[in-house]
């Protein structure tokens, strides 16, 4: 292939970076606290990596989830999917406005925000498509900076969606 037939696609993203929870809007801080609280109930005996998620719905309700592991991998489920699927089951027809995610590990202090795994990103993308609106994503480690993405597209560019089916 000659160089003249090759082009380049550059993909960039914007993530808001906050230095601490004190810098967050009050609603976001409360939602993140809920995610941090629910991660304590995660069932993570294999990875010792706890994740909590709290989803604020358009009706003002908040639902939470945490990771649930299983010795028969991949039978477990991530916190984000637990929260999103719970919202879909208990509040059908109500969109998710924001989801906050917090992580904690047994053997290491997580000092930076971690983003959802690829599977969870795709599930969040599905719910954005389902309701035709962006879902804000707040990401936090145990301490340190906090990231906020305006939409899953910030974390999953070139995402697959129903428009291809």
Domain-wise residue ranges, the chain: 15-154
Collapsed DSSP state (helix, strand, coil) of residue 137: strand
Q: How far apart are CA 62 and CA 84, in angstroms?
A: 11
In a 13 Å sphere around the CA of 75, the CA atoms on its Cβ side amount to: 6
pLDDT digits (tens, 9 = 90+) for 4-26: 788 999 999 999 999 999 999 99
pLDDT digits (tens, 9 = 90+) for 43-90: 999 999 999 999 999 999 999 999 999 999 888 999 999 999 999 999
Active site residue: 34, 69, 80, 128, which one? 80
The percent of residues in the chain predicted with pLDDT above 90, rounded, is: 87
Residues 6 or more apart from 108 whose CB is under 8 A from it? none
Burial of 58 (0-12, 13-18, 19+ CB in 10 A): middle
pLDDT digits (tens, 9 = 90+) for 105-154: 999 999 999 999 999 999 999 999 999 999 999 999 998 999 999 999 99
Order of strands across the sheet that contains 136-140 = 15-18, 146-149, 136-140, 96-105, 49-57, 62-66
**What pLDDT, on the 0 to 100 scale, is given for residue 33?**
97
pLDDT band at 35 (very low <50, low <70, confident <90, very high): very high
The C-alpha torsion from 53 through 58 and 59 to 63, rounded to 10°, is: -10
Q: How far apart are CA 62 and CA 83, in angstroms?
A: 9
**What percent of the residues of the chain are helix, what percent strand, and what percent coil, each to the nearest 5?**
35, 25, 45
Q: What is the CATH number of domain 15-154?
A: 3.40.140.10
Query: Is there a catalytic annotation at residue 80?
Result: yes
């Amino acid at each position: 292939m000659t160089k003249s037939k090759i082009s380049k696609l550059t993909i960039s993203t914007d993530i808001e970076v906050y230095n601490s929870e004190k810098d967050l809007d009050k609603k976001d801080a409360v939602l993140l606290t809920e995610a941090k609280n629910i991660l304590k109930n995660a069932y993570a005996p294999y990875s010792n990596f706890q994740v909590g998620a709290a989803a604020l719905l358009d009706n003002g309700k908040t639902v939470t989830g945490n990771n649930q592991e299983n010795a028969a991998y991949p039978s477990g489920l991530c916190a984000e999917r637990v929260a999103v699927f719970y919202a879909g089951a208990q509040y059908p027809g109500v969109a998710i406005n924001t989801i906050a995610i917090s992580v904690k590990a047994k053997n290491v202090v997580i000092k930076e925000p971690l983003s959802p795994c690829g599977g969870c990103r795709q599930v969040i993308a599905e719910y954005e498509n389902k309701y035709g609106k962006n879902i804000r994503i707040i990401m936090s480690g145990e301490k340190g900076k906090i990231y906020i993405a305006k939409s899953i597209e910030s974390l999953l560019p070139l995402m697959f969606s129903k428009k291809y089916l």
